[in-house]
Amino acid sequence: MANISDYSVVGRFAPSPTGALHTGSLVAAVGSYLMAKRGGGRWLLRLDDLDAPRQVPGMADDILRTLESFGLFWDGEIAFQSTHLNDYQHFFELLQQAGSVYPCCCSRKEIAMSASAPHPGDDGIPYPGKCRGGTTAGSLIRSWRVVVPEEDVCFSDMRKGRFCQKLSAVSGDFVVRRGDGEFAYQLAVVVDDYLAGVNQVVRGEDLLSSTPRQIYLQRLLGLPQPDYCHLPLVTGPDGLKLSKRDHLISSQLGNVAGRERLLLFAVLRFLGQNPPAELAECSCGAILEWGATHFSPLHLPARGGALEI
């Protein structure tokens, strides 16, 4: 694990190189940056590049150049999930040794058709546990799943307050590794944050429902639990979360050149930080410096909405 003894806070931003950043991504980047920097901490950058088929050529570099154009400079070297496969294997084996995971031969179609499966929620249909008792000899292993508890997994979010989730009702025994050997996001992100010494995770509210699964894995593996803060989401005119094609900001497209400081100022307002009007005329560096000095999670709004520029 990274040596973080010299830093009180280690935060991170972890985009996927599957498309250009959008204004919602910028809110997450700025929010995580300011939350780390307000305490004199470090802000790390990781590219979540496990899903190779969905990656867009050149997009990793575009993300880096876009962040730099806003004055969002990361500390240390950039991390790549694709370089951590041996680490994922190690922690997966620890789960195996503890008897916390089991092979599953169920397809998505079989899970959807299961008469015992509850109604689907935001995370799909909870796995009904068909393979918990073992699989038939010679069956195709489609995934490896973690056995989840019946009791709630709770944590305190810096914006949302106490949040509890019953994993058995929301996700059921969730996947940590696919049958083809690929590691799932939930395990990868837990290992990534541990290896980097991340102790503060600031990200969009759309990932709130994933957090109890990650906390449960941290507990199974004996890893420290970071502090969490889930930021309000930027929405489109229809009130829905932005897709990867909405409100793009890209150095490659050149669609933000000259507007960076206005966007940063708008993000501070969106996050409830009430910057002075004259700050909009300052450089990106000055805007971020003001934000790092004045940022308070207590001022984060209860709801998201459109990003007004």
- Decide: helix, strand or coil at residue 161: strand
Query: How far is the first Cα of the chain from the last one, in angstroms, to the nearest whole number?
Result: 41
Do 247 and 295 lie in one domain? The reply is yes
Residue in the block written with tokens 């025994």: 173
* Structural domain span for residue 101: 85-185
The residue type of 53 is P
What CATH number is given to the structural domain containing 163? Answer: 3.90.800.10
Q: Give the catalytic positions in this structure.
A: 244
Of 176, 149, 172, 214, the closest CA to residue 93 belongs to 176
Residues 262 and 169 in one domain: no
| Residues 264 and 290 grouped into a single domain | yes
Closest CA to 262 of 73, 37, 70: 70
Tokens 């994993």 correspond to 167
**CB count in 10 Å sphere of residue 308:** 7
Which residues of the chain have a pLDDT value below 50? 2-6, 115, 117-122
Question: Do residues 133 and 211 both lie within one domain?
Answer: no
pLDDT at residue 308, as a whole number? 79
Residue at which a domain ends, from 136, 153, 185? 185
**C-beta atoms surrounding 3 within 10 Å:** 7
Distances (CA, A) of 269 to 8, 214, 255, 275: 26, 30, 21, 7
Total count of domains within the chain: 2
One domain, residues 18 and 112: no
Which alpha helices (DSSP H) does 197-305 contain, by range? 211-221, 260-270, 284-294
Say what the pLDDT of residue 135 is: 77
pLDDT score at 306 = 87
The pTM assigned to this predicted structure is 0.91
Closest CA to 182 of 13, 46, 45, 49: 49
What span, in angstroms and rounded, lies between the C-alpha atoms of 209 and 122?
A: 9
Task: List Cβ neighbours of 85 (8 Å cut-off, separation of 6 or more).
Answer: 183
Secondary structure of 59-112 in HEC code, one letter for each residue: HHHHHHHHHHHCCCCCCCCCEEHHHCHHHHHHHHHHHHHCCCEEEECCCHHHHH
Exposed/middle/buried for residue 34 (C-beta within 10 Å: 0-12, 13-18, 19+): buried
Q: Which two structure tokens, joined as six digits, stand for 112?
A: 């959807």
Whether residue 164 is contained in a domain is answered as yes
Q: Beta partners for 172?
A: 127
Q: Are residues 205 and 276 in the same domain?
A: yes
Instruction: Write down which residue in 185, 202, 227 finishes a domain.
Output: 185
Q: Do 250 and 198 fall within a single domain?
A: yes
Write down the pLDDT at residue 81. Answer: 96
Burial of 23 (0-12, 13-18, 19+ CB in 10 A): buried
Q: Which residues, at least 6 apart from 57, have a Cβ–Cβ distance to it below 8 Å?
A: none
| Domain shared by 138 and 230, yes or no | no
Asked, for residue 2, whether it belongs to a domain, the answer is: no
